[in-house]
Every structure is written in C-alpha cells, then in structure tokens.
Chains A and B, each alone.
Chain A
Amino acid sequence: MTKNASDESDVRTATAPYQAEFPYERDEEAQVTRREFCNFLGLTSAALFVGAAGFAAKAKLDARESEALSAAHIEGAETLAPNSSLNFSYPTERDSAILVRTADGSYHAYGQKCTHLSCPVYYSRDQQRLECPCHEGAFDAATGNVLYGPPPRALDTIEVESRDGQVWAVGRTAARPENGG
C-alpha cells in the first residue's frame, strides 16, 4: 500500500522537500495548554473590565453633556389639536421624541424609545395613552408611567415650557425602574 505524501491526514510523515523545510506538528497546533488557557481567561477578564469601564465612562460623559441641554423650540406644537401628538427630536437629531397634547389641552413630551427594547412608541387617540406596538406595552400619556406590559420603567420625560405662546423643550430626565429591576 503506497502512501500519498500530500495527504492531509498523513502530513507529518510526508517526505516532500517543501514539507521538510516547514515541519510543524498539525495536531499540536490545535492543542492548548493549561497555562495558555489560564492566560486566555486572564485576558478575557481584562477585556471585560475594560468594557465595563468604557461603557460607564461613556455614559458619564453623555450625562455631563445632557446636563447642559439647550432649550429647543418644538415646531408646530402651538397648532397641535387636543388629543393628538407630534414627533420631534430632542436634544439631538438622533433622539426622537413625542409631544402629546392631552384632551385637557396640556402638553407632555417623552423620549420615543420604549424602555423595554427601544421600539418607538406612538400615541393612541382612542385609548388616550402611549403604546408600544412591539410587545404591547402602554404608558400613561400624562405621566409617562407604565400602565401595563413588559417595560421596566416609565418613558424618559422631556420638560416642556410655554414661552410667548410657543412650546419649548428645556430638559430631559430618565425615570427610575418601578420594580427595582
């Protein structure tokens, strides 16, 4: 029985000249020693620490920026009919928000991201509440509190002010979890 020198399964006994010049043990390539595995776990631990510290640092940085939010005029809020809503962005163009004018005529604004899995919430005129279509969560239109469903906390609240007959967004705050989770 003749052996094929270029056969993958028998590479260590191969006798071709180029294989002699580059002799490596294919089986040992895949093996990991306990020491290497230990070092790998150490590196993983360092990476996880760096990840946690990075996320925390970024969140703190974002918090510092959001503390100095400038007021922004909400276009079209003055003409908004009672029991209807309007989408706008605050504090940046990427932060979508929803302004609700309840049936009594008062204005309430919230971050549009559902606190469950960040789906955009919408205002249901029939039910007079904010609803999340993804997992059937609902929020109170006047307070932003969770009425039912999976969201763990109320919507982010955007403070609104009336200045010279115009509606302005002046700040944004995140709510604490209602169930402590």
Chain B
Amino acid sequence: MDKFGRWAELLRGRKMEADLSKQRSKAGQAAVWQARLIMLVMINIAQLWILAATVDAALARHYSVLLPLVVASGVCLLITLSIIKWWRPTRS
C-alpha cells in the first residue's frame, strides 16, 4: 500500500511537471504570436507611410525617389511574407 502510494505520488508529480511545461510552452507560443502580429502591424504602418510618400513624390514629379520607395515597400512585403511563412512558434 505504501509502495503503491509512493508510485501514485511520483506519477502525480510527473503529470504536474508535464502540465507546467505545457503551460510554459503555450505562454511562449502566445508571446511569439503576439510579437509576430505587432511586427506585422508595424510593417503595415511603415508601408502606409511609404505609399503616402510615393503618391506625394509622383504628384510632385520627383521621379528619382520613386524607385527607392517602391524597393522599400517591396522589402517590407518580403519581411512580412517571411514572418508569415517562416517565423512561426515551435510546437513543443
């Protein structure tokens, strides 16, 4: 009976450890998700600014700055795609 009780206690302890680890993992995943979303929103805001600058330059006929602005917007898009495709939280 005593031996059985020790086993039960051990199993309970391991289960608690596993639960704790799972909780930590979930919290970590949530943090990564949040970080991804914040970065995506920030990049979107930057792209919005770039679009406004592009329109401004196009209307003012400042053609020399158009290409750098489009390239900057393209780089932002690439970063966005990389965040969506590859920077994912691990499933542990």
The chain A residues found within 8 Å of chain B, CB to CB, are 34, 37-39, 41-42, 44-46, 48-49, 51-53, 55-56, 58-60, 63, 115, 153, 156, 174, 176-177
Per-residue contact bits, chain B 5-31, to A (CB 8 Å; 1 contact, 0 not): 000000000000000000000000000
What 10 additional pairs, Cβ within 8 angstroms, besides A38-B40, A153-B60, A156-B61? A41-B80, A45-B44, A48-B50, A48-B73, A49-B76, A52-B73, A53-B70, A56-B54, A56-B69, A56-B70
When distances are taken between beta carbons in the complex, the residues of chain A under 8 Å from B73 are: 48-49, 52-53
Given A34-B37, A45-B40: A52 in contact with B50 (beta carbons within 8 A):
yes
When distances are taken between beta carbons in the complex, the residues of chain A under 8 Å from B36 are: 38
Per-residue contact bits, chain B 23-52, to A (CB 8 Å; 1 contact, 0 not): 000000000010011001101100110110
From B50, B54, B74, B80, A42 is in contact (CB under 8 Å) with B80
- CB contact list, B77-92 vs A, under 8 A: 77, 80-81, 84
- Label chain B's interface by main secondary structure: helix
Inter-chain contact B61/A52, CB cutoff 8 Å: no
When distances are taken between beta carbons in the complex, the residues of chain B under 8 Å from A115 are: 60
The smallest C-beta distance from A57 to any residue of chain B, in angstroms, reads 8
Nearest residue (CB) in A for B85 is A42
Inter-chain contact B51/A42, CB cutoff 8 Å: no
Q: How far is the CA of A156 from the CA of B44 in the complex (A)?
A: 33
Q: How far is the CA of A115 from the CA of B56 in the complex (A)?
A: 11
When distances are taken between beta carbons in the complex, the residues of chain A under 8 Å from B50 are: 48, 52
Inter-chain contact A45/B69, CB cutoff 8 Å: no
The smallest C-beta distance from A154 to any residue of chain B, in angstroms, reads 11
Q: How far is the CA of A49 from the CA of B59 in the complex (A)?
A: 18
Inter-chain contact A38/B84, CB cutoff 8 Å: yes
A-B contact pairs, 8 of them (CB 8 A): A38-B84, A42-B81, A44-B44, A45-B43, A45-B76, A46-B77, A56-B58, A63-B63
When distances are taken between beta carbons in the complex, the residues of chain B under 8 Å from A59 are: 57-59, 61, 63, 66
